[in-house]
Chain A
Amino acid sequence: MSESTRRDFLVKAAQGTALAATGGLVWWFLLQNQARATPFAIRPPGAGTEAEFNALCIKCGLCLPACPYGTLKLAAAGESIPIGTPYFLPRDVPCYMCPDIPCKVACPTGALDPELTDIHQASMGLAVIDIESCLSWQGLRCEVCHRDCPVTNKAITVVHHPRKTSKHAVFVPLVHSEHCTGCGICEKVCPTDVPAIRIVQADLVQGKMGAHYRLGWTIDTPITQEFVPAQEAGPVRPGVDTTGAGVDYLND
């Protein structure tokens, strides 16, 4: 190989690499933005985490005609939801929780988990209430969400709540995340102009207490508990024995 052809080859290789690297970076940036941008999409039942769902969904739209209520839409290009993936807007058409989960059956890739057999185990999202616009919280006996909730008296209960300084109480809806499937019927039926109860992806609003908190006063808490240390304990002064009895003296 002569000097010039070797040089040509090296230049060609460098040009190719540069082109691939530049193009690849732009493409990757696009993917990162598109696929990760929206945590707001409410997915059909059986969808896993957004990362898992976005990887497995092949954008075929087979779940759309499978749904007898026309709940599902495919995200069109340019929408704020990852392109070509199914989602639904509960205020338009909620999920009516078919016991045979036909959308999941139609899904060919497993993006809607085939292991999901009980629609009550679905977690499409979580209902959250804006107490500033909720009629019940203003003292009106609305409770429409509670009465239309398909997970009857489990996902939404009505509890009484003191009404400011008055001796009367108000009856307010309370969502229980362990039962709420995120079907969105509550959002659909809420009579306010803009729904006061809405479905959001649960991890956007849900906190986590930490295992070291002991709710000694609750009925189902065992009386004798194992000591669970705080995951992020604060700094301890040198010389203080943290293993002995002294630290947990309040519960001794």
Chain B
Amino acid sequence: MPATLGGKLRVWRFLMARRAVQAGLLLLFFGSLHWGWNLFGRPLLVGNYSASEVLGLVPLADPFAVLQTVLTGYFPTTEVLVGAGLILLFYGVVGGRTWCAWVCPMNLVTDAAAWLRKRIKVRDLVNVTRNVRYGVLALTLVLSALAGVAAFEWVSPISMLHRELLFGAGIGWAAVLGVFLFDVLVLRDGWCGHLCPLGAFYAVLGERTAQVRVAFVDERCSRCGECVRVCPEPQVLNFKKAAEAGMVASGECINCGSCIPVCPEDALRFDWRHRIVAARRAGDPGLEKSQVPPQRRVA
């Protein structure tokens, strides 16, 4: 960690940007609902993360929630389908799990848990594969069809969190606290990295389409592993795969950008997938992108 404030701010730049987006969206929801924030009499952003309306015109909806609703056998209206389509399009382009790091309010809770866990040095209580989430995802879809209600929406601690924040006064905080304690004491990145079916849904969505990716310059990387230590989904930083693709291609990458400022060799940066692919085709390793002169590999 750099000693100067400027250096610290540089390291924290993506973290600060993420917090600004997360808090800003929450504030927009809260202000529109409780303080009547509007533009020419049109409320800025009403609803919540399940479904909302921008300026009383543009519908937005959680595509995973809408998918579950469709599976119940009761067909929703076009409005919510359009809203889900818009969100699907957005995260399809910027990378599905960008939702997880930049928007989802639960990220505030689980990041706090991860910070505390590091501080008090807790070891995992259980060893669970991160692929459990795809099982939970499949189960969500099956149960939605069987039980006739959107299965995850009825138990989702994410929804409980934002409903508590916006509409208030229930024991939904208990579920949020549960997620926090689970992440601190039971399993590192337990909720977001192992169980959450919404994250799994977005991981599947972003696998091939995501345009915003962390580009990787193999020629610079010394394999020091600083990036892996800060990454909440460390399995995505597979150096061999990243060297082949020139980027972190996995849909499980949440685009949080934590790895980028900690890299001492400046081997990582955000870039567009098509530019990375084109540069690799042209045989350009992308060295010109960084400001720091290339260093020799340590190992």
> Are A77 and B171 touching (Cβ within 8 A)?
yes
- Which A residues touch B148, using CB under 8 A? 35, 51, 54-55
> Are B175 and A77 touching (Cβ within 8 A)?
yes
> Are B174 and A77 touching (Cβ within 8 A)?
yes
- Which B residues touch A30, using CB under 8 A? 154-155
> Are B150 and A76 touching (Cβ within 8 A)?
no
Q: How far is the CB of A27 from chain B (nearest CB, A)?
A: 6
**Cross-chain contact of A76 among B47, B135, B169 (Cβ < 8 A):** B169
Bound-complex Cα distance A56 to B65 (A): 10
- How would residues 70 to 95 of chain A score, 1 for a CB under 8 Å from any chain B CB and 0 otherwise? 00011011110011100000000000
- How would residues 24 to 60 of chain B score, 1 for a CB under 8 Å from any chain A CB and 0 otherwise? 0000000011000000000100111011110000010
Bound-complex Cα distance A65 to B74 (A): 25
| A32 interface contact, C-beta 8 A | yes
Contact size class for A? 35 or more
Bound-complex Cα distance A51 to B69 (A): 12
Q: Which of A107-115, A126-134, A176-184, A195-203 contacts B (4 or more CB under 8 A)?
A: A107-115
- Which B residues touch A20, using CB under 8 A? 135, 138-139
With contacts A60-B51, A77-B175 taken as known, whether A108 is within 8 angstroms of B154 at the C-beta atoms is no
> Are A58 and B69 touching (Cβ within 8 A)?
yes
> Are A24 and B142 touching (Cβ within 8 A)?
yes
| A23 interface contact, C-beta 8 A | yes
Bound-complex Cα distance A106 to B151 (A): 24
| Residue in chain B with minimal CB distance to A25 | B143
> Are B77 and A58 touching (Cβ within 8 A)?
no
| Residue in chain A with minimal CB distance to B79 | A108
| B22 interface contact, C-beta 8 A | no
- Which B residues touch A64, using CB under 8 A? 33, 167
With contacts A35-B154, A76-B172, A110-B77 taken as known, whether A84 is within 8 angstroms of B139 at the C-beta atoms is no
> Are A31 and B50 touching (Cβ within 8 A)?
no
Q: How far is the CB of B185 from chain A (nearest CB, A)?
A: 21
| A52 interface contact, C-beta 8 A | yes
| A16 interface contact, C-beta 8 A | yes
| A28 interface contact, C-beta 8 A | yes
- Which B residues touch A82, using CB under 8 A? 154
14 CB contacts below 8 A, A to B, read A16-B135, A20-B135, A24-B143, A28-B147, A54-B149, A58-B76, A61-B48, A62-B46, A64-B33, A65-B46, A76-B170, A78-B172, A108-B77, A110-B76
Interface residues, chain A, with chain B CB atoms under 8 Å away: 16, 19-20, 23-24, 27-28, 30-32, 34-35, 51-52, 54-56, 58-62, 64-65, 73-74, 76-79, 82-84, 106, 108-111, 114
